Amino acid sequence: MNLDAAAWSCSFCGKRGTDDTRFAGGLGALMCTECLERFSAAFAAPENANAKIIGWSEEDMTDADMLARLPLIAATATQVDRYLRAWVARIRERHISYAEIGKALGVSRQAAWERFSRAVGSGSGTAGQGTAAAEKRS
């Protein structure tokens, strides 16, 4: 799995990582140190003591603001999918079958194989081990 910060972005502000960036998080969603500090302060603020979700709210946004968020949301979804594929590649390196992967995801072995077997290069942040017939039978 690619752990180079420059290959990832903050899921909260969209800031692209650099060699000096530090991220917190997991499961594909990452938070830069600036957002971590901002959200930590927001959680600690007395006025937010009863807030269930802290962050931007569409209630305070114009239509243009909402449209401007679409690319950030799409980029986060793409990043989470890339992380998922890399994770499946790591699982496949352990020789865990597509049947087990499918079961964990609530889909069939065939659906798991079709989704994840075609990507290549687990070290690059993408996933998969190729499309060899032997793998299809896994």
For residue range 94-103, what is the model confidence (pLDDT) as tens digits? 999 999 999 9
The region, left, alpha or beta by phi > 0 then psi within -120 to 50, assigned to residue 18 is: beta
What is the three-class DSSP state of 45?
coil
- For the stretch 3-31, pLDDT in tens is 788 888 999 888 999 989 999 987 888 99
pTM higher than 0.85, yes or no? no
- For the stretch 100-133, pLDDT in tens is 999 999 999 999 999 999 864 444 343 333 333 3
